[in-house]
Structure 1
Amino acid sequence: MTAFIDAYLHRLDLDNLAGQPPSVANLHTLHRAHTERVPYECLEIWLNRRTTVDPMESARRILRDRGGYCFQLNGAFSLLLDALGYQVTRHVGGVQGTADDPAEADAGHLVLTVSGLPSEDSPDGRWLVDLGMGDGLHEPLPLTEGTHRQGPFQYGLRPSQAEPSGWRFDHDPRGSFVGMDFRPHAAEMAAFAEQHEHLSTSPKSGYVRVATVQRRDATGADVLRGLVLTRIGEGKRSRTLENRRDYFTALADVFGLTLGDVTPAERDGLWRRLLAAHERWLSRRREATLAKSGLAT
């Protein structure tokens, strides 16, 4: 386990935290480093690679300079926190994508909380820890009702109306989803296996429909959806990555994804699928514009 801790901390450029006891300051440092250095991404799906919710499998992939989405990022991080002596608990959660979607903890999201670290912000010592919301948290939030600002984004925490005794996270209006609810009791990783299968294989899944990569830092978030790269901070700016070179350069320079574990043939296949998906997206946009103008046939 010592080798695992050392390798994971080295991945986060936090070798100095080895052997240090749990603390509020160190928890924040770990969370910030993880969001900045380990991207939220679903490219394994677009590379036609099967994955599981096994935390150690996810951790090994992260140590190969890759990322993942909530089950993988929070699953692996829970292993690291536990190994470092933190009191970490996994919870069943669910993301509300739009206001028209139901607010519920449907096991489509894995949430972490850490307890036993009281501070002025969190007198009872409980913290919301979540690396799996893409453009969400940069640092842990005290698990108390109220509003919290992190960089340009303002978040809310309150009792959940959908999950008795659970919690509701309200995202900033500029975020990629409306909010997230989670249940109060502890969950095993098996609780997420069915939803992981759906999210990684179903044609209805957002991960299957759109190749998404995100990274949060202190001043905002970088979001790559298909071939459109967006920076969201105090303002918002987007550009389309017009060619293969620009796409893979952005992965490396913006998100730290050099894809050293991806073969040339896999890169070729990934680019073909991305380009085809982008053309379908452009076609739908053209059809929607024509329909709005009354020119559609």
Structure 2
Amino acid sequence: MTVDSPGGQGVPPAAGEERSDRGMDKAYFARIGLEYPLGPSLDTLRDIVAAHNRSIPFENLDPLMGIPVHDLSAEALSAKLVGRRRGGYCYENNGLLAYVLEHLGYGVDRLAGRVVWMRPPDAPKTGVTHHVLAVTVPGEDGRFLVDVGFGGQTLSSPIRLEAGPVQRTRHEPYRLVDHPEGLQLQTQIHGDWLPLYQFSLRTQPLVDLSIGSWYSSTYPTAVFVVGLSVALVTDTARWNLRGRNLAIHTDGSTEKIRLASAAEVLEQLTGRFGIDLAGLGDVEARVSQVLDT
């Protein structure tokens, strides 16, 4: 097992660090409601992804409240998502999961991509600011795409990292197709194949991911800075909150709820999504500014 230094170089951990890793991992598994696994396998990977989906929400409260997200160390991510019972966006959810999987004996490559979800084909390009994982499972051929950080349409199961075949997940079908930038992930909704993001297969050093996270959490017009976005994937539904608008997607049908006030939004954040708002300042006042963003 190796750990990433800030420059992305792998160095062997000391014995004390291994004990610390195991302690963080045990806390993570308690957070997602799973027993600590005995060893890496594809079934275990599927179980971890499903449990993470339903336990740790996608949320952007730090950028919304003016708090930069740049420390992607295992300690910082565990302290926030596990210890403080918060969620996070792609750099945080996938970042934390990468450390856990490495500690369990999986091979993990950190990748980066460009989001195209819900954007017309002729729209200006977005930045390369999405973070995903390519995971190697001992005893299995090839690698698997793992992404627990794409919000409302995030992958609910690992899929094989290969272009072509339609692949089943716990929810919608997905597929990967060849793209000039590498591969593009698509999902099938109501019979149509819709693109989510394209990504390179080049491994990204942690320092580059930290820069991408800092940009995403501080740039004045970045989507995570100017609006509220929260999501959680249960076994039977996808819960998506954007400003005051809550959508619950289940089995091809959608229930839409328009919340009347910022106070009602906070009730959803703490109740439905299980987010601890302590230490964030006046969240209600900030949410009231972005109810319709």
Smaller-chain TM-score range? Answer: 0.7 to 0.9
Residue 246 of structure 2 is aligned to residue 229 of structure 1: yes
Q: 1:170 aligns with which of 181, 186, 198?
A: 186
**Distance (Å, rounded) in 1 between the aligned partners of 2:120 and 2:262:** 35
**1:3 maps to which residue?**
23
8 Å contact from structure 1 (residues 53, 193) kept in 2: yes
Q: CA RMSD in A?
A: 2.4
User: How many pairs were matched up?
Assistant: 265
Secondary structure at the counterpart of residue 255 of structure 1: coil
**2:288 maps to which residue?**
275
**1:99 maps to which residue?**
120
**2:161 maps to which residue?**
143
**Distance (Å, rounded) in 1 between the aligned partners of 2:234 and 2:287:** 26
**2:95 maps to which residue?**
75
Please give the per-residue CA displacement for 1:223-252, whole angstroms capped at 9, x wherever unaligned.
111111111222111112213442222112
**1:196 maps to which residue?**
213
Amino acid at match of 1:170: Q
Q: 1:26 aligns with which of 36, 41, 44?
A: 44
**2:9 maps to which residue?**
none
**Distance (Å, rounded) in 2 between the aligned partners of 1:36 and 1:154:** 19
Q: Could you say if the C-alpha distance between residues 152 and 26 of structure 1 is closer, same or farther in structure 2, counting changes exceeding 3 Å? A: closer
Secondary structure at the counterpart of residue 166 of structure 2: strand
**Distance (Å, rounded) in 2 between the aligned partners of 1:101 and 1:149:** 30
**2:131 maps to which residue?**
110
Please give the per-residue CA displacement for 1:138-176, whole angstroms capped at 9, x wherever unaligned.
1111223321233552222122x222xx2210134479x
**Distance (Å, rounded) in 2 between the aligned partners of 1:117 and 1:101:** 42
Q: Could you say if the C-alpha distance between residues 199 and 59 of structure 1 is closer, same or farther in structure 2, counting changes exceeding 3 Å? A: same
**2:173 maps to which residue?**
154
Secondary structure at the counterpart of residue 271 of structure 2: helix
| Segment drifting more, 26-35 vs 49-58 | 49-58
**1:54 maps to which residue?**
72
In the TM superposition, residue 45 of structure 1 has moved relative to its aligned partner by: 1.5
8 Å contact from structure 1 (residues 46, 270) kept in 2: no
8 Å contact from structure 1 (residues 41, 69) kept in 2: yes
Secondary structure at the counterpart of residue 91 of structure 1: strand
**Distance (Å, rounded) in 2 between the aligned partners of 1:82 and 1:162:** 29
Q: 1:254 aligns with which of 255, 259, 272?
A: 272
Secondary structure at the counterpart of residue 110 of structure 1: strand
**Distance (Å, rounded) in 2 between the aligned partners of 1:101 and 1:31:** 34
Amino acid at match of 2:166: T
8 Å contact from structure 1 (residues 105, 183) kept in 2: no
**Distance (Å, rounded) in 1 between the aligned partners of 2:126 and 2:105:** 28
Q: Could you say if the C-alpha distance between residues 225 and 207 of structure 1 is closer, same or farther in structure 2, counting changes exceeding 3 Å? A: same
8 Å contact from structure 2 (residues 40, 137) kept in 1: no
Give the fraction of aligned pairs with identical amino acids, expressed as a percent.
25
Q: Could you say if the C-alpha distance between residues 168 and 59 of structure 1 is closer, same or farther in structure 2, counting changes exceeding 3 Å? A: same
**Distance (Å, rounded) in 1 between the aligned partners of 2:197 and 2:131:** 10
Amino acid at match of 2:242: R
**Distance (Å, rounded) in 2 between the aligned partners of 1:199 and 1:187:** 16
**Distance (Å, rounded) in 2 between the aligned partners of 1:105 and 1:146:** 27
